[in-house]
Structure 1
């Protein structure tokens, strides 16, 4: 009987053993040809595979199919994010231990090979110490090379395994059977240091990559924890009961108390409050919620209490959809094929072919000792082509670039980030917390003519403001209290204090009632409002500032304007971006007036306001479809989908964990100038990598023919493996030296 849609299961599993795009392709192919599997799609960035399979197919059988060729699935009852986090931690610990172990054994081998090369016992010691470096600490290079060979491909692991393996085998032969060469008048040199050093240095690169991977996934797990584990539900009898979050069903009535995290999406049926929705909009000022207002999972209730009806639960909530889209955006990015892997795919078979041709050519050229000369020349070709310089070209430049970035408060997740950063032509900026400070501050206080005549009067009213607002927990109240704090009259007593959610606060000082709140509330309270303050309020509101009114029981004393100030470095940083030829755009969840003001003050000509998380991501996709390379800079949960969608994502270090997790680069300061430095660092690092690859390739183009013996018929010069090894070492030194030049360069 054929399977129907209802018979199909869809599950996502963490995958073990994947290291490159070829591995991902193999996993997909194996699973798709497994009986009962309808579709398999690998997300290499997340190291997972999404599988659609018949209900009669067990996950264990899928794992068995992959295990046969060296891969595997993690089958765990734990949530996917936790399984991935555990997997990455274990992988990092394993690679770290192997890198340290390789370094410990490589150091004495290097010393013996470079400074005691003629000491006979040193050769045996080096051979013994090299064994664990290659076949235990470096075993992964050989296993990956074997996997690549089985599917007819080669990458850097192939070069590492081939170069280190042949150098070790040749050196071991010369150590055990030195008479083979001595009888032919040749010196039996050994190259154990060459075989171990390449394993150690490439392992360092692998360790840096693994370290970056351990940091991904944790923030999404933290985002899930924004939802409470327990929920207060109103049952049919009208009583409150505590239930688990996963028990909440659509149309349940829930009680939300002050300070509670809202568990699911829904609408308010009774009560009112302010809700912190910064995770959705990115805006720091809580939103007033009244009857029938929409509320969302993961947002935080402030000082009011209300009842809500559940409308979307589980995977249907906005919070769950954000997480899902972040995963999809990360997985949809094409894996950047490393330039070194491309070179290796051509280089390895060519070197092997040259080595074989060299061996047989000597039987035609040489009159005597053809076998000896042929074997030595063939080995010299392989040794001089040992991929140390080629293998170090990328990781050394990356290590220096990443280190340089860290010194400049720029944390770079991986090599891809630097490569993409060098190609960026469009920069998208979130407004709140990126261009602006991300928190409300009092920008001005304008007094009525009857109350603010002199500084003494103003000081008095500031002390009244402080006394009243110190009783409120609203973010705007905190901003006013901080601004109005003075050394005078700080012991004022406030009585009959009341908080009117959605309107303002009221309290009595020295038998006079004072109000602080919205213009509407002041007007409805029949308090006299001076015309000049109405005009000033309209001007401030048109600029996107929030206006708060302060009045006694008869007339308005002052208005307080509150805004999110632009950071001191934002304007100059944006000018630098534009001078580099970058198009700079603001995408903000805030209102049009506020966004317009920020754009005008920073010199940005293109902006969009009122953008939801998915709107930002869709806008970036539209730019990419027109061939733009887009960098997104943000700091909030609402930016995470856009960050994951962009070609290059940069998060401010003070931002939300999910933004940092979605980003390829994290700035540990809130200075936008660091964005310019990040892009310059990318260009400098990529330039260094290309220079390294060029010189490593040129070295091989010159060195391999000489090692093969092309100079012998003309001059009698034959490059023995010892000289070839030294030449190979010099090429590696030149690559490292060139990479280190980056440390002294300016990023401004």
Structure 2
């Protein structure tokens, strides 16, 4: 038998014959591979294999020669339960070249990663369509049309449900009215007769099944015939069994045992109506789960005022190119990312950063597309447009996180794979047990119990439990300035036991400031600062810039400037000889700094860097320069500590400065004087000591530590979100975002556990009840109609519970105002 697949794949990293040998060897040892030939010139491999491609991709990556991959998203119609999800995922993963496939029931979409050149989005869509679920690749602009598509779906479901209810109501009144009200039963018997009543119920129920209920049979019967039944199959089986029994009881009662010729048309009709109603409520609720991402998409205006052909013109946003000049009037949204050329204004960036305070903008400042301009007018030069804007990157990250599968979903997938077949088996067993052991008349009791088991089982709730919570949680997080770049970070973060921070630029401002000037006896503070700033203005060192920024007014001219690496600087100013640097530098020049050294000792203990200043060979002053702690740092760390987390700091700064900062911020563990690559070892040490570690850095020189931590959290700037090594990106420099990220993770995972607990608990408890386990103890058999109502409400409960995450508010400690109290509107 030949291989099921034959693909030509692109292989990265090959540059010699030995590489070819290694790649061929790796491929031939991969699971399912029957033949492999590698071509160095084209950097490709011809691979024949059985089964899925994921194992081959993993083997190549492990060997150091990864395959080039692409990713696409597919829109899938007709999914309504976890069984559908499993079936589509299996079909995709078994198709040519697919490395990974994640199907999301809540969004009705699939995210597929595949080896470049092995397949195409249209081929993948065809694979899904062949399983019975029409699919097509999602185009870039399609997401913006999702609102109208969802509205059309809700409108169609509303119409169908109303028609179904109109048909079911007479059936219900005729049958249940006769059971509940003896006078009504007598009136029916006298006027139209019992047989005529049953015939009317038959006609209305038949129309209901052929019309509004047709969807259950059109999808359920083919899935049964394929040997892969889904939720529609359960409904089709249950209602068909009750319908066929009722038809026989109506037109050929002699075929049934004496006393068992009862009709259940009203149960069939009510089941269909209630399940359609449940799907309508579920669709309305699911429509609100994507509100956050639709809100992000709506931020970018459709047109912009751009300078073209010597005049300002309104042009479509799609026509804007990098380098174009645009004008933004007061109250308008910024159309694209850009740099301010002219004008001043305050811009509300809360929709991107979660920060409510407008940010001042002046020439050379950056503005972000989608933010709201205040009362000033701005002229900008476009720097990033289209898919390269911050807003587009944010939307992509949110979509990726919403389409991800958490590790917790693996258990759900394993159970739902067997769920529907097991339910069918339980229903058959229920019928047999009632026929053998049930009291007379056993046949109708067996039918009621079997149908109830089929109808009450709810794989929908299982399939929706995780993705709806992820969608709402990550969407709300994005509104609060917290981007979960990787879906599993949502689960991993709440497992962290210690949070490690980079120091410079994360806990501190990252920009040294002059904190004190201590003049020696006989020297004036202002004069000292003026001369020191003049000399330091010639230096590029960050500490020199701190001194220069602190001096007011015009600085005198400097001559004979000289930098002494690692020690200090010297120069002449206004005819005076100036030295600035360490006490050692001045001592080697014959200047005694002992008295000044004592004066700045407490500054050094607090983490400041002391500088000494001499005029004409005399110690004139000491300067203390420090990197100020960010205003929100202490409050943010207190929040994390209140959540039971240990705090650590990993920095390349000297031990004395690091220890002083740790004492001030009450940090438990300090690792100082490490190079960027040494931070990985520090992370490993923390993992050994505490377990799961989250690392927070500014994303510039912290890439190794961000990658080494169980969860990497990068501090963004509002304009820099593409930090590839981070799992989570904070859109503002506010460290309060770290505490918000932990809280969002914790609440979302709690919500997921609630949903899963309900979905599984519901089935574990109610399927035995539907089977009649309470009947021998004086209980009643569960009506199939009540079973349908309970099943419909189960899915609605799960989605509604997930929607509670939209109300998450991120509050600062000490009762300060919430950072963002805007609620999402659907």
- Residues 383 and 505 from structure 1, CA distance in 2 versus in 1: closer, same or farther, beyond 3 angstroms? farther
1:75 to 116, 125, 133: 116
- Identify the residue that residue 157 of structure 2 maps to in structure 1: 110
Residues of 2 paired with 1:659 and 1:543: CA distance? Answer: 35
2:265 matches 1:186: yes
Relative to structure 2, which stretch is displaced further, 460-469 or 427-436? 460-469
- Identify the residue that residue 479 of structure 1 maps to in structure 2: 546
Residues of 1 paired with 2:469 and 2:406: CA distance? Answer: 23
1:355 to 411, 427, 431: 427
Q: Residues 71-220 of structure 1: matches in 2 within 5 Å?
A: 73-75=114-116, 93=140, 96=143, 103-119=150-166, 162-164=230-232, 167=235, 186-187=265-266, 188-189=268-269, 190=272, 191-192=275-276
The runs of 5 or more residues in structure 2 that have no matched partner are 1-15, 38-46, 70-91, 100-112, 119-136, 168-206, 252-262, 297-404, 814-826
- Tell me the CA shift for residue 424 of structure 1: 2.6
- Tell me the CA shift for residue 345 of structure 1: 4.9
Q: Residues 456-467 of structure 1: matches in 2 within 5 Å?
A: 458-467=525-534
Does the CA-based 8 Å contact 2:713-2:728 persist in structure 1? yes
- Residues 92 and 596 from structure 1, CA distance in 2 versus in 1: closer, same or farther, beyond 3 angstroms? farther
- Tell me the CA shift for residue 734 of structure 1: 3.1
Superimposed CA distance per residue, residues 16-75 of structure 1 (whole angstroms, 9 cap, x where no aligned partner): xxxxxxxxxxx99645565578999x9999x976357999x999xxxx997448667433
- Identify the residue that residue 21 of structure 2 maps to in structure 1: 8
Superimposed CA distance per residue, residues 456-476 of structure 1 (whole angstroms, 9 cap, x where no aligned partner): xx3344344444444544322
Residues of 2 paired with 1:675 and 1:536: CA distance? Answer: 38
Does the CA-based 8 Å contact 1:99-1:203 persist in structure 2? no
Structure number with larger C-alpha Rg: 2
Does the CA-based 8 Å contact 1:516-1:550 persist in structure 2? yes
Residues of 2 paired with 1:92 and 1:118: CA distance? Answer: 37
- Residues 368 and 531 from structure 1, CA distance in 2 versus in 1: closer, same or farther, beyond 3 angstroms? closer
Q: Residues 527-538 of structure 1: matches in 2 within 5 Å?
A: 528-536=591-599
User: In structure 2, the residue corresponding to 1:604 is in which secondary structure?
Assistant: coil
- Tell me the CA shift for residue 107 of structure 1: 0.6
User: In structure 2, the residue corresponding to 1:632 is in which secondary structure?
Assistant: strand
- Identify the residue that residue 783 of structure 2 maps to in structure 1: 719
1:666 to 722, 726, 729: 729
Does the CA-based 8 Å contact 1:9-1:54 persist in structure 2? no
Residues of 2 paired with 1:58 and 1:481: CA distance? Answer: 51
- Residues 58 and 491 from structure 1, CA distance in 2 versus in 1: closer, same or farther, beyond 3 angstroms? closer
1:411 to 445, 466, 483: 483
Residues of 2 paired with 1:468 and 1:627: CA distance? Answer: 48
2:654 matches 1:641: no
Does the CA-based 8 Å contact 2:278-2:795 persist in structure 1? no
Residues of 1 paired with 2:578 and 2:458: CA distance? Answer: 82
User: In structure 1, the residue corresponding to 2:544 is in which secondary structure?
Assistant: helix
Residues of 2 paired with 1:58 and 1:588: CA distance? Answer: 36
Does the CA-based 8 Å contact 2:652-2:672 persist in structure 1? yes
Q: Residues 177-576 of structure 1: matches in 2 within 5 Å?
A: 186-187=265-266, 188-189=268-269, 190=272, 191-192=275-276, 337-345=409-417, 347-358=419-430, 378=450, 380-403=452-475, 405-406=477-478, 408-413=480-485, 416-452=488-524, 458-484=525-551, 486=552, 490-496=553-559, 498=561, 500=563, 502=565, 509-512=573-576, 514-519=578-583, 522=586, 526=589, 528-536=591-599, 544-576=607-639
2:60 to 50, 62, 66: 50
- Tell me the CA shift for residue 205 of structure 1: 7.9
- Identify the residue that residue 693 of structure 2 maps to in structure 1: 630
- TM-score when scaled to structure 2? 0.55
- TM-score when scaled to structure 1? 0.59
Residues of 1 paired with 2:54 and 2:605: CA distance? Answer: 48
Residues of 2 paired with 1:99 and 1:379: CA distance? Answer: 36
- Identify the residue that residue 400 of structure 2 maps to in structure 1: none
- Residues 541 and 415 from structure 1, CA distance in 2 versus in 1: closer, same or farther, beyond 3 angstroms? same
Residue correspondences, number: 561
2:664 matches 1:601: yes
- Give RMSD over aligned pairs: 5.6
Relative to structure 2, which stretch is displaced further, 633-642 or 398-407? 398-407
